[in-house]
Structure 1
Amino acid sequence: MNDLAPLLVALPIFGSIMVFLAGLVRSESGWPIAVLASLAQLGAAGMIAIRAFGEQPVQYVVGGFTAPYGIELVIDGLSATMVVLIAVVALGVLGYARVAGPRSNSFYATYLLLVAGLTGMSITGDIFNMYVFLEITGLAAYALVASGRGGRSALAALKYLLVGTVGASLFLLGIGYAYVATGTLNMADLSQQLAVEGYTSTLVQASFGLLVAGLFVKVAVFPVHTWQPEAYAGAPDSVSAYISALVSTVAAYALMRIVLSVFTVDFLAANSFARTVLVVGAVVSIILGSVLAVTQTEIKRMLAYSSVSQFGLVVGAIAVANVSALTGAMIHLVGHAIMKGGLFLTTGLVANSTGDRTIDGYEGLAERSSIGAAVFGVLALAMVGVPPAVGFVGKWYIAVGAVEAEAWPLAVVILASTLLTLAYFIRIVERMYFREPAKPSEAVETAETEMAASVVADGHGTDAELAPVSTGMRATILAAAVLAIVLGLGAFEYGQLLEPTIERLLA
C-alpha cells in the first residue's frame, strides 16, 4: 500500500508526457489520456485513503534513503482528503472541458502537471519539496490562465505570474532561514529542531513570517489577493473552476501544515504576535472580501472576491488551532472546492447558452436556462451556509472552535460571514427567479456592453458568443450541486473520522 504514495504524483506526470507525445501525432487527442490518468489517480487515492485514516499515517521514503535525509511522503487523514479531492475535481472538470474547452493537447498536458503539483504539495513531508511542487503548481496555473483567447487572459496570467513569484520567493527565503536554524528540511525533524532552537529565536520567527507571508499570497489573503480576481475572471471557464476549487485550497492546506506540523501550537503560544497576524488576516479577508464581492458587476469577479472571504475562515481556524476549528477548516476546504468549482462551471454553462456573464444579465435566468439557474441557486445557498449543505457544517465547526478558544472577535466575524455571504449571493438569486428577462432591445445592449467590458476566452470564443452545452457540462454541475448537499449530510461523520488525525497534529 505504501508503494501507491509515489504513484499519486507519478500518474498525472506520466499522463502529461503521454498527452504531449500523442499531440505530436494528432492534435486534440489528449482528452481520453487525461481522463484515464485521472481515473487511475482517483483509484490510487481512494485505496490509500482507506489506510491513511488509521492509527498511523502512510509513509514512503523516495529512493530508500531513511528520513530525515531522504524525501519523505506522508499521507494521513488530512492529506488523504486533499488527494481524493484533487482527483475528484480534476476528473469532474475534465468531463466539463470535453466540449467547453480548451481542447488542445498542450492544455491537457499542462492540466495534468497542475494536478501533479497540487498532489505533491499535499503529501510531501519535506519542506523544500513542498516549494518544488508549489512552483510546479504555479507555473502550470499561469500557463492555463493564459490559455484563453484574447489579451485579458494573457494580462491576467502575467499579473498572476508576477505576484505568485513574489509569494514563492518569500516561501523559499523562509525555508532558507529554517534550514540555517536547524540544518534539516524534513518537516517532522524540522519541528523537533525548531523546538530545540527556541521559538523566540529571531531566525525561527523570521522563517515563520516569511513562510506565512508567501502562503498568504498563494491563498489570496487580503491585501495580497490582487492576482486572484483577474486570474479567475480572465481564464477559460474550465480553468477558472479548477484553480478556484483547488489552487488556493491546497495552499491553505499547506499553510495549515506549516503552522501546525512544522512550527506547532507551542510556537503560537510562545509568539502571540504570530497568532494575531493570522487572526487579523482572517478577519480582514472575511469582511473586505465580502464587501468587494458585493460591489462587482461581473459574476466571475464576484466569485473570486467571495473566495478571498471564504479562505479567511480557514485562516481563522488555523489561528484558533483546536480540534473543532481545524475539523471545520478541512470540511470547509472540501466544501468550498466543490461549491466554488461548481459555481464557476455553472457560470460557464450559462454564458455558453445565453451569453450572459454579468449580474444584471442573470435577470429572468430561470426562464432561459432552468438547469443553470437551479444549480447556481443551490450552490449559492450552500455557500451562504443554509443547512444541510456542507457550507453550513464547516462554518459551524469553525465558529464552535472560536467560541471554545474564547476568540470572541473572530467568533463574531465568523458568524457574521453568513450574512456577508448572503449579501452578494441573494441579489443574484433574486434576479434569476423574481425578475423578468430583459427585453430584446435591452438584451442586445447588454450583450454589446458585456463584449466591450469583458472579453474572456472560453473554448469557443468571447463572452458574448453562444457555444454548445454538452451533456457532460450539465452532468458536472448537477453533480456539484448534489455533492454540496450529500457532503453536508455526511460531514459530521467525516469530522469524527478526522479527529484522531487532528489530535496527533496538535499533540
Structure 2
Amino acid sequence: MSDVLLALLVTVPLVAAIFPLLFGLRYENAGWPIALAGSLVVTGLAGTLAWEIFTASTETGQRLVHEMAGYPAPYGIELVGDGLSALIALLISVVSVAVLIYSRSTGPGSNAFYSGFLLLMGGLLGMTLTGDLFNLFVFLEIVGLITYALVASDDSGMAAYGALKYLFLGTVGASLYLIGVGYLLVRTGSLNMLDLQARLADIGYTEPLVQAAFGFILIGLMLKIAVFPLHTWQPDAYTYAPDTVSAYISALVSTTAAYALIRISFDVFTVDFFAANQLITDAVVLVASISIVVGSLLAAMQTEIKRVFAYSSVAQFGMIVVAIGLNSRTALLGAVIHLVGHGLMKATLFMGAGILSSAYGATTISDYAGLAKRSPITSGGIAVTGLALVGIPPSIGILGKWYIALGAVESGSWSVAIIIFISTLLTLTYVARIIETLYFNPPEATHEETAASESVEHVAVGDEAVADGGLETRVATERIVVVAVLAVSTVALFASVDLFTELLDPVFGRFFQ
C-alpha cells in the first residue's frame, strides 16, 4: 500500500492541472482554489511518505518502490522513495503551498497559470521520485517547458526575452543530458538506475563511452542547475518573471536538477566511478569552486535586488556541486541540507522582495532605504533569511556550509574550505548592504510621498490595493505571513540535523558502502 504514495504524488498534480482550465470555462477564478487543494493533498502525501520512510526498520532498507503498470525493472519504470527523495518531495510540496498562498492576491491570476503551476509541481515530483534515467528526461522536459511559459507569463517584452533565453539554453542542457543517457543505453542496454549501477560495475568505470556518458549528463544538468559559466539564463529568468514565478522557480527548479545530479552520481555511477576517474573528479571540484567565487562576486556587484539573489544562487549551487566532487559522506550531508535550506531561503527572499516591490516600487537596493520602518515584518523576514544565507547561526544556512567545509577538510581539500569561507564573506557584504539600507539609511522622498510614516503591515487588512502616488500602500496579509513563517523556519531548522541524519543515513549507507 505504501508504494502507491509514490504514484499518487506524481499523478495528483498532473491530473489536477486539467481542472483549472476545465472549470475555468464556467468560473473565472477557479484556478487558485483547485491549485491550493491539489497542493495540500500533495503535501499530506509527501508528509506521509517521509514519515513511513523515517519510521521504517533498517531491515527493509527504508526504500519504497512502485512498478508502473506492474512491469518490473529493468524493463518497466520504477518510482522510488527513500529518505533523500522524500525530503525533496516534502520541500517541493511545502514551498508550493507557501507560494500559492502568496499568489492569491498578487497573481498571475489566470486559470492557465494555475494549470501550469500544477504541471510544474508534477514534473518536479516526477524528477524526484523516478528510478529511470529516460523517465527523468521526460519530467525534466515537462519542468523546462512549463517554466519557460511561466517566466513569460508577465506579458512584458523583457519577460519574453528571459523566457526565450532560458528556452534556448535549457534545450541545450536537456539535449546534452539525453545524449549521455543514450550512451549509457548503448553500452549497457538499461535505463533503470540501480540496474545501471550493477552493469557499470561489471563493465568498469574507465571506458571512454562511460566517461563520455557521465560528462554529457554532468554538463547538461549543470546547465539546468546554473553553475558558472553555464548560468547566463538564470539572472534574466529570475529578474523578469512575475514575483510569484521567481519565488517558485528559484526555490525548486534548479534545486531539483541538483538533486538529480546527486542521485545519478551516487546511485548510477557510484563513488567508485569518482575514485577511478580522478581527473573528472578534480574538474568537477574546480568548476564548482569557480562558480562559488564568481557567483558571490557577481551578486555583490549587483544593484537590482532580484539579480543579487539570482547570482547568489550560482554560488550556493556551486557549493552543492563541489560536495559531489569531494566524494565525501560528510560533504554530501551538507549538500542535501543546503539544498533544502536554499530552497526555503530563496522562496522567502524573492517573496519578500515581491512585497516591497508591489508596495513601494522598490526594485533596487537603494530603493530599500528606510523601508524597515514602514514594512517591519517583511523587512525582518528578509534580514533573517539573508543572515541565514550568509550562514549566521542559528540557521539552516550554517549547517549546510559547515558540513560541506568539514567534508572538504576530511578529504584533504583545504582549498575548498577556504573558498567557502571567502564566499561567506562575500555573501555577508551584499546581505549587510541590504540590511543597512533597510534599517539605517534615510528613506527616499518617493517613499515619504507614498506612505509617509505609515507601515504597509499596519494596513494589511484587505486584498484591495489602494493607489497613492502610483504605488500600492496595502498588501494582503497572507503574503506577509508566508514570508514571516518561512523566515522563522530557516532558523528553526537549525535544530533539525538529527532528523536529516536519520532520513539520509540509510541512503548514504548505500552510496558509500
Give the TM bin, normalised by the shorter chain. Answer: over 0.9
Using the alignment, how far apart are the partners of 1:467 and 1:142 within structure 2? Answer: 31
Shift of 1:115: 0.2
Alignment of 1:85-104 (within 5 A): 85-104=91-110
Other-structure match for 2:185: 179
Other-structure match for 1:334: 340
Q: Deviations over 1:423-452 (max 9, x none)?
A: 2111111111111101349989xxxxxxxx
Other-structure match for 1:373: 379
Using the alignment, how far apart are the partners of 1:23 and 1:139 within structure 2? Answer: 22
Other-structure match for 2:7: 6
Check if 1:199 corresponds to 2:199.
no
Shift of 1:469: 1.2
Using the alignment, how far apart are the partners of 2:426 and 2:498 within structure 1? Answer: 25
Using the alignment, how far apart are the partners of 1:2 and 1:68 within structure 2? Answer: 18
Check if 1:256 corresponds to 2:262.
yes
Using the alignment, how far apart are the partners of 1:401 and 1:274 within structure 2? Answer: 19
Using the alignment, how far apart are the partners of 1:122 and 1:343 within structure 2? Answer: 24
Other-structure match for 2:154: 148
Match of 2:155, SS?
Answer: coil
Shift of 1:416: 2.2
Using the alignment, how far apart are the partners of 2:278 and 2:502 within structure 1? Answer: 30
Shift of 1:253: 0.4
Using the alignment, how far apart are the partners of 2:348 and 2:440 within structure 1? Answer: 23
Check if 1:170 corresponds to 2:176.
yes
Query: Which deviates more from structure 2 when the two are superposed, residues 41-50 or residues 20-29?
Result: 20-29
Match of 1:63, SS?
Answer: helix
Alignment of 1:405-484 (within 5 A): 405-440=411-446, 465-466=471-472, 468-484=474-490
Structure 1: where are the runs of 5+ without partners?
445-458
Paired letter, 2:35: A
Other-structure match for 2:32: 31
Other-structure match for 1:240: 246
Q: Quickly say closer, same or farther: Cα 1:197–1:465, change in 2 above 3 A.
A: farther
Percent identical pairs in the alignment equals: 51
Match of 1:74, SS?
Answer: strand
Q: Deviations over 1:339-376 (max 9, x none)?
A: 11100000000111111110111111112211221111
| Mapped contact 2:378–2:484 kept (Cα < 8 A) | no
Q: Quickly say closer, same or farther: Cα 1:67–1:101, change in 2 above 3 A.
A: same
| Mapped contact 2:274–2:327 kept (Cα < 8 A) | no
Using the alignment, how far apart are the partners of 1:467 and 1:162 within structure 2? Answer: 39
Using the alignment, how far apart are the partners of 1:18 and 1:441 within structure 2? Answer: 42
Other-structure match for 1:52: 53
Q: Deviations over 1:301-340 (max 9, x none)?
A: 1100000000011001111122211111111011001111
Partner of residue 81 from structure 1, selected from 62, 83, 87: 87
Shift of 1:26: 2.0
| Mapped contact 2:359–2:473 kept (Cα < 8 A) | yes
Shift of 1:505: 1.9
| Mapped contact 1:241–1:342 kept (Cα < 8 A) | yes
Other-structure match for 1:220: 226
Using the alignment, how far apart are the partners of 1:371 and 1:155 within structure 2? Answer: 34
Paired letter, 1:100: T
Q: Kindly report structure 1 stretches of 4+ aligned residues shifted beyond 3 Å.
A: 440-444
Shift of 1:17: 0.8
Other-structure match for 1:390: 396
Using the alignment, how far apart are the partners of 1:497 and 1:6 within structure 2? Answer: 21
Query: Which deviates more from structure 2 when the two are superposed, residues 370-379 or residues 179-188?
Result: 370-379
| Mapped contact 2:53–2:503 kept (Cα < 8 A) | no
Paired letter, 1:253: Y
Using the alignment, how far apart are the partners of 1:460 and 1:216 within structure 2? Answer: 44
Using the alignment, how far apart are the partners of 2:446 and 2:70 within structure 1? Answer: 68
Using the alignment, how far apart are the partners of 2:172 and 2:507 within structure 1? Answer: 33
Other-structure match for 1:494: 500
Shift of 1:496: 4.2
Structure 2: where are the runs of 5+ without partners?
451-464
Partner of residue 314 from structure 1, selected from 320, 331, 335: 320
| Mapped contact 1:100–1:460 kept (Cα < 8 A) | no
Other-structure match for 1:131: 137
Q: Quickly say closer, same or farther: Cα 1:381–1:441, change in 2 above 3 A.
A: closer
Paired letter, 2:220: G
Higher relative contact order (CA 8 A, sep 6+): 1
Q: Deviations over 1:224-249 (max 9, x none)?
A: 00000000001000100000000000
Aligned residues: 491
Match of 1:67, SS?
Answer: coil
| Mapped contact 1:48–1:80 kept (Cα < 8 A) | yes
Q: Quickly say closer, same or farther: Cα 1:493–1:43, change in 2 above 3 A.
A: closer
Using the alignment, how far apart are the partners of 1:150 and 1:465 within structure 2? Answer: 19
Shift of 1:149: 2.8
Match of 2:70, SS?
Answer: coil
Partner of residue 195 from structure 2, selected from 182, 189, 192: 189
Using the alignment, how far apart are the partners of 1:295 and 1:247 within structure 2? Answer: 25
Other-structure match for 2:349: 343
Match of 1:60, SS?
Answer: strand
| Mapped contact 1:99–1:468 kept (Cα < 8 A) | no
Partner of residue 403 from structure 1, selected from 385, 405, 409: 409
| Mapped contact 1:364–1:431 kept (Cα < 8 A) | yes
Using the alignment, how far apart are the partners of 2:198 and 2:446 within structure 1? Answer: 68
Q: Quickly say closer, same or farther: Cα 1:290–1:66, change in 2 above 3 A.
A: same
Paired letter, 1:332: H
Using the alignment, how far apart are the partners of 1:3 and 1:429 within structure 2? Answer: 47
| Mapped contact 2:193–2:268 kept (Cα < 8 A) | yes
Match of 1:386, SS?
Answer: coil
Paired letter, 1:432: L
| Mapped contact 2:84–2:503 kept (Cα < 8 A) | no
Query: Which deviates more from structure 2 when the two are superposed, residues 407-416 or residues 280-289?
Result: 407-416
Using the alignment, how far apart are the partners of 1:435 and 1:36 within structure 2? Answer: 43
Q: Deviations over 1:176-197 (max 9, x none)?
A: 0010110000000011111222
Other-structure match for 2:75: 69
Using the alignment, how far apart are the partners of 2:402 and 2:330 within structure 1? Answer: 9
Shift of 1:460: 12
Q: Root-mean-square deviation (CA), in Å?
A: 1.7
Check if 1:122 corresponds to 2:139.
no
Check if 1:22 corresponds to 2:4.
no
Shift of 1:27: 2.2
Using the alignment, how far apart are the partners of 1:263 and 1:380 within structure 2? Answer: 36
Other-structure match for 2:292: 286
Paired letter, 1:51: E
Paired letter, 1:109: S
Using the alignment, how far apart are the partners of 2:443 and 2:140 within structure 1? Answer: 45
Match of 1:68, SS?
Answer: coil
With structure 2 as the length reference, what TM-score do the two structures score?
0.93
Using the alignment, how far apart are the partners of 1:443 and 1:133 within structure 2? Answer: 49
Match of 2:437, SS?
Answer: helix
